[in-house]
Every structure is written in structure tokens, then in C-alpha cells.
Structure 1
Amino acid sequence: MEIVSYAVLGLLIVVSPGPDFILVLKNSLCSGRKAGLMTGIGIGLGICIHVSYSILGISHILSHNEAIFSLVKYAGSAYLFYLGLSGLLNSKLTIDIKNEKPVNSSTKKCFAQGFLCNALNPKTMLFFLSVFSQLVSPESENNLMFVLMCGLYITSLHIIWFCFLAFLVTSIKAFGTFQQFSHIINQACGMGLVIFGVMLFTSN
């Protein structure tokens, strides 16, 4: 039953709307499918950071050191604000979905954005501090292979979900609909990232 609980909770964490979702949507619409896919892969691999510090026991330090956790929180807030502001300043959509000609962002840049957005995402960090870390606590009887499989499961969920999102929003039929409201959508995505950044900065 414990495994089922972790599986369901991990799925809910992945599909719940947040900065990662908005970033994939923005990069997919602004720079094409490849950019969206690379963003999704970057988000998924960002999970490896959280898995690593959980296994190494750093999660215990983070959960008991408010200064370190606050530093990560403010860094994440600043990065989300930067991404949102960049999106607001470059919100005009010029992608040709048939020819897949990305604009404004390289795929490497989109990968880095996805990786950092997740690695600095306190929502994901709190999941690993409060839930995943229990798998590797001294009281837990789970072995390292089981913990790694759980980490791989969460990582795979992120990659599959966000790559699916990138495919969905850049399909020709869906893109035609998005294109009619392209400027509004990109402005909304940029504003959403800014709002997430401000909320994170002011949260306790």
C-alpha cells in the first residue's frame, strides 16, 4: 500500500499546474516542438538533483536549516521572475509549426531553463523533503535499489508528462487554435511565471 501511495502522490505532483507546466507551454508555443521537448527533458532530469540530495542525506540538513532552504527558495523565486519577465518582453509568436523553425530560444537554452526551473522549484523540493526522504531515512527498511527505482519513476513521469504536453500544444490542429490567441497566451504565461515567483518570494 505504501508503494501505491507514493505512486499516486508522485503522479499528482507531476500533473498539478505550476511553473514547469507554464514553462513547457511557453517554450513550445514560442520556439516549437523540439524546444518544448527539450524543456520537458530538462525538467525531468532536474528531478535527479532532488533524488541525489535525498539519497546523500542532505535532505535532513535542508529540512532543519531554514537559512539554506530560504536561499534556495529565493533563488528559485528570482529565476521564475526572470523567466516570466523575459516571456513578457518577448511574447510575440512567430513559429512556423509546419517547418519547425524555432525563434528566440535554442533547444539547449530551453533544456537549461527546464532543468533549473525544476531544480529550484520548492514545490518539488518539499515533496522530496517531506515524502521521498522517508524512503531513505535510517528507520526505513528500503534498500538503495528500491529508492533509485522510485526516483526513476518520478523522473520518468515528469519527462513523459511534459513531453506529451509539448506534443499536444504543437500539433497542427491545436496550434491553429493557440495561434489565434498567441500574444495573449504568451503574455499570460509570462505573467504566470512572474506571479509564481512573487508568491514564492513572499511565502513562509
Structure 2
Amino acid sequence: MEWLSLAVLGLLIVISPGADFVLVLKNSVNQGRQAGIWTAIGVSLAICVHISYSMLGISYLISQNEQLFDMIRYAGAAYLIYLGLKGILSADNKLAPIEGAKQSTSVWRYLAQGFLCNVLNPKTMLFFLSIFSQVISPDAQNQHIALGYGLYMIVLHGLWFGIVAMLFTSSTLQKHLLRAKKRLNQACGFGLVTFGALLAIKS
């Protein structure tokens, strides 16, 4: 597969709306820009895990073990549903400025949320398995190229979700988001629950 095609494919995968996007958006709107950026960093760190086991060939073994794959799938689904329900139940109409929102929890919590949301997603695992099966040759002579592509994906995730966090906490959008904060929170919550449910029921 041509490297330009791989680069474009990676970009499309990253910017397409998914559970990671919804989580970064929810944390940014609820807790401010810093929370969104730390969530984005957590997502990027999770990509390191996917790259590591893809290059080691562990992802192939997992994909061939139905029980182990189901355990990962259900764990990911449960975590997404938990985050979604929490967002729905905690949604409110308060019009406190986003940047002035009280940071009631440690940044490590947002880091962990982003990390777990991505690392427990078997779709991401299978994506990296399919991509690295094209990048890594059987004779293992191009490991450095595969590593370079992995670093590209890490940076791409961090940049994109960092932009999402900054965009949705900007002063331009802030006044409009505040008016619909409860509905936006509920929409994000329903989105996470939906992603989790679909992940759980998909065979």
C-alpha cells in the first residue's frame, strides 16, 4: 500500500466522529480546555499500546481468540456506556463559563478516561492490525518504517483531539454552547451509550 494512501487513511480514521471524539467534546464542554486536552493526550497514549502489540504480533493472536476478543469488546462497551450514563445523569443547565468551570477532579482522571476509551476499543485494535499487516513485511526489514507510521498516528491523534478541545472551548463558540449545554451533554452521553451498545451487540 502506498504511503500517501496510508497517511490519508490514517487521517480519515482519526477525524471521523467516534467515541474518542464524543468523550473529548464532553470533557471540554463540561470541565474546560485543560480537561479536553488531557483527554486527548490519554487517547494518544492509548495509540502507543495499539502500535506496540501490533508490531509484536499480539493483536493477531487476540483476533484469533474469540473469548479473549469478546472480553476486550465487552469491557470497552461497558466503559463507554458507563461514561455515557454518567454524562446524561450529570447534565445541567448552569451557565457558568467553560473556562471557569471548577476542576473538581485530577487531570489524571481525564487522562485515564481518554486512554481507556481508546485502548478498550477492539475496532481500533483491528484497524492497527490491518494497517500494520500492510506496513510490516514478513522478513521484518522495515520495522523502522512501521514505527515511523505509528509515531505519525500518535501525533495525528494528539493534534486532532487537541484542536477539538480548543475549538469547543473558544470564546467564539462558548456563548452558543452555554445556551445548549444540557442538551449537548445529553447528546454526548447518548452518543457514548450508543457506541457502547453497538460495540456490545456486534458479532
| TM-score, normalised by the number of residues in structure 2 | 0.93
In the alignment, the residues of structure 2 paired with residue 41 and residue 187 of structure 1 have an alpha-carbon distance, to the nearest angstrom, of 24
**Equivalences, count:** 202
Alpha carbons of structure 1 residues 41 and 53: separation in structure 2 relative to 1, 3 Å: same
Q: Which stretches in structure 1 are left out of the alignment for 5+ residues?
A: none
In the alignment, the residues of structure 2 paired with residue 202 and residue 154 of structure 1 have an alpha-carbon distance, to the nearest angstrom, of 28
In the alignment, the residues of structure 2 paired with residue 10 and residue 154 of structure 1 have an alpha-carbon distance, to the nearest angstrom, of 7
**Per-residue CA shift, 1:84-136, capped at 9, x if unaligned?**
011111112655335x3334543210110000001011221121122223323
Q: Give the aligned partner of residue 164 of structure 1.
A: 163
In the alignment, the residues of structure 1 paired with residue 81 and residue 196 of structure 2 have an alpha-carbon distance, to the nearest angstrom, of 5
Q: What's the RMSD between the two structures over aligned residues?
A: 1.6
Note if contact 2:31-2:98 (Cα within 8 Å) is conserved in structure 1: no
**Matched ranges for 1:1-204 at <5 A:** 2-92=2-92, 94=94, 95-98=96-99, 100-138=100-138, 142-204=141-203
| TM-score, normalised by the number of residues in structure 1 | 0.93
Equivalent residue letter for 1:62: I
Note if contact 1:59-1:133 (Cα within 8 Å) is conserved in structure 2: no
Equivalent residue letter for 2:39: T
Note if contact 1:30-1:93 (Cα within 8 Å) is conserved in structure 2: no
Note if contact 1:72-1:120 (Cα within 8 Å) is conserved in structure 2: yes
In the alignment, the residues of structure 1 paired with residue 133 and residue 171 of structure 2 have an alpha-carbon distance, to the nearest angstrom, of 42
Equivalent residue letter for 1:109: R
* Per-residue deviation, 1:176: 0.8
In the alignment, the residues of structure 1 paired with residue 7 and residue 198 of structure 2 have an alpha-carbon distance, to the nearest angstrom, of 28
* Per-residue deviation, 1:142: 4.7
SS of the residue 2:125 aligns to: helix
SS of the residue 1:188 aligns to: helix
* Per-residue deviation, 1:137: 4.8
In the alignment, the residues of structure 1 paired with residue 123 and residue 17 of structure 2 have an alpha-carbon distance, to the nearest angstrom, of 11
* Per-residue deviation, 1:31: 0.3
